[in-house]
Amino acid sequence: MENHDIPTRPEETLDGTVVFNVPFPKDLKDLAGMAPVIVKQPYHIDYIHSYGQDSPFFAGLANRRLLGSRCTACGHTFGTPRMSCMACGGDCEWVELPQEGRVHTFTVCHFGSEEFLPECPYVLALVEFEGVDTLFLTRLLGVDPARPSLDWIGMKVRAKFRRLSRFKPTDVWFVPA
Amino acid sequence: MRPVYAVTGGVSKFAKARPDRTFQALVKEAYDYALKDIGLEPRQANDLVDGTVGSYFSDHFQRQLMSAIMVQDYLGLVPKPGHRVEGGGATGGLCFQEAWKAVAGGDMDVCLAYGFETMSHVQTWKGNEFIALASDVSFDYPVGGFYSGYYAMMVTRHMKEFGTTVEQMAHVSVKNHINAIYNPYAQKHLRITIRDVREAPVVAWPLTRLDICTMSDGAACAILASEEGLARIEKAAGRSLPKVRVTGIGRGTDAMRMADRPHQSFEDFYRYNALPNEQDADSRAYYKDLWDRGFRYPGVHSFRAGRMASRQAYQRAEVTDPLNQIDFVELHDAYTSSEIQTYEDMGLCRYGEGGRFAESGLAFMPGIEYGLDLPQRPKCSVNPSGGLIACGHPVGASGLMQAVFAIWQLQGAIGRHFGNDRLQVRGARRGAIHSHAGTGTYVTVSILEKED
């Protein structure tokens, strides 16, 4: 196997020359062997995304409050809020979650989706809260991404909030408590 | 329900990029192969086919909506009935089962199931983004949406709870890559070692590049038929065809958000999720001990959807002891870790035993040199084709690729299709195919059997 730490070729990117003409055979029979013509088709969208019934969660983050939900019928408590209970189908009400929990599991992402590539390496974690039945996905900061360890599981962590809210779930993140 | 036969199938060559063909022509490549194998001309086949089910995962990769109808017209199958199914990574498995339903329910006598994905149309990083959009865009995606990251979190927990090791995961990578050396359809032909897997670049700790499948361009198709449909195909082909029957299908689901996974009790596990081979006193004691030590089901380490799909398919196909009653499994190994998790869901071993099962040798192919010291002889080969890890994972085609390889195994025809018979499971009578979406959101299991 090659050593992947030392690059052996430059990164392929989608910028470059635009071609205005290609060679073409005299005899149409020769078209069967023609190489494919490949063009760039850009596509950009801005969505008008509503958080709908989940909106109070994001308003909560802007006010340094971490909200979950609890089923009014069976009491199942959700660490990531949902207004319809997955356990019984009952309606849920908003509850405030403790701002301290423990790392249930985690990973360090060294690659990712295009949007998050500049942030690599970053640590994703699922956090568990005392008395809450489900988990919460978040970024874990304040740990060294170069030295991941299974011992991080079970670590006490606490929530921190963005001062200038972006109304995204990353308005909250966790650090070792 | 009527008996349903899987008559023939075809697979395009899976590759990182196939700019030489549009998606319609890739499907035609697979379809033409399937027809040629039973000696039918497209015109004859198109008279016999009653309708189709099309399978592709993401509209984003083509930047083309209604791609399936473009395949249908390219193949010359308009104005016959057809529709598209979509369910993430399980799209191909769902497609196979929808075709089964069309035939079993009496709507069609001959149904073509086809699928494709052309993932090379965007850069890998953009492709990761498209795939990550199959996670909750309010709560999951914006945190750093990346499927390899999600699966890494699952296996980190698996390691913590059960002592599963990265070397055990690497056994899966070595097995599947080396199997694929003998499969000409596979995208990758790599003879690798445990050390290669561990020294490859880390993508999401602890998963390395060799623990993870790659994006791919490819297509696959299978033709399913009733007894009547099969008789018509045989008449047109002018010969009797080997009989492979689909004896059971099963499906399960789970919550989109991994964070929402419940933590069921021991009692509920035995009420809803346990398999027939886990009903003995020893297994009950084993699980009771797991629960006493804090295990909860399914948690983030297990796929309840995969278990429910297996349970339903096994019940219908009368499988009570999967490891001993199934000759081979083609399962959705998008990650080495998810192959280990799936051993457990499918009952090839108990929950928590997947890591040890991976290195036991039971899931390897006999007669192939892996360069590993395996304590046990192969019993139920898992991913003899090389799986998604080595074949590639053109999402909408993957589940159908598994179906095609299973049909060929049960027809005893691997040698003819692969140009060598190293991957032919000797005396194969029953195989299982397993297709899987999201973080375990949709899972399908189908059982195929050779009929004399």
Per residue in B415-435, pLDDT tens?
999 999 999 999 999 999 999
Instruction: Look at residue B305 in the predicted model and tell me its pLDDT.
Output: 98
Query: 């009929």: which residue's tokens?
Result: B451
How high is the pLDDT of residue A6?
A: 80
Distance between CA atoms of A125 and A115, rounded to whole angstroms? Answer: 19
In chain B, which residue's Cα lies nearest the Cα of A148?
Answer: B205
* Enclosing H/E stretch for B217: strand B217-225
pLDDT for B339: 98
Could you give the CA distance from residue B204 to residue B213 in angstroms, rounded to a whole number? 13
Residues B364-406 pLDDT 10s? 999 999 999 999 999 999 999 999 999 999 999 999 999 999 9
Average pLDDT over residues B218-241: 98
Read off the amino acid at residue B205: W
| Residues written for chain B | 452
State the pLDDT at residue A11: 79
A84 — contact with chain B (CB < 8 Å)? no
Residue B313 to residue B143: CA distance in whole angstroms = 36
Per CB-CB distance under 8 Å, the chain B contacts of A148 are: 205-206
pLDDT of residue B258: 96
| Interior/surface letters B42-66, b for 16+ CB within 10 angstroms, e for the rest | eeebbebbbbbbbbbbbebbbeeee
What is the residue extent of each domain of chain B? 5-122+216-244
For residue B402, the model assigns a pLDDT of: 98
| B262 with A134: Cβ contact below 8 A | yes
Average pLDDT over chain A, rounded to an integer: 94
| Residues A117, B126: C-beta atoms closer than 8 Å | no
Cβ contact B326:B314 at 8 Å: no
Of B128, B132, B143, the CB nearest to A169: B143
- pLDDT tens digits for A98-144? 999 999 999 999 999 999 999 999 999 999 999 999 999 999 999 99
CB contact under 8 A, A137 and B140: yes
What would the mean pLDDT of B218-231 be, rounded to a whole number?
Answer: 98
Looking at 1.10.260.40, 3.40.47.10, 3.30.1780.10, 3.40.350.10, the CATH number of the domain B5-122+216-244 comes to 3.40.47.10
Q: Is residue A104 within 8 Å of B112, Cβ to Cβ?
A: no
> What CA–CA distances, in Å, run from B342 to A121, B119, B350?
28, 25, 10
Distance from CA of B206 to the nearest CA of A (A): 7
Instruction: Give A109-121 pLDDT, tens digit per residue.
Output: 999 999 999 999 9
Letter for the amino acid at B107?
Answer: D
ipTM over 0.85: yes
Q: Residue B220 has what pLDDT?
A: 98
H-helix or E-strand containing A173?
A: strand A172-176
pLDDT score at B251 = 98
Task: Using an 8 Å CB-CB cutoff, list chain B residues near A135.
Answer: 258-261, 300
**Ramachandran class of B304: left when φ > 0, alpha when ψ lies in -120 to 50, beta otherwise:** alpha
Q: Convert the pLDDT of each residue in A23-58 to its tens digit.
A: 899 999 999 989 999 888 888 999 999 999 999 999
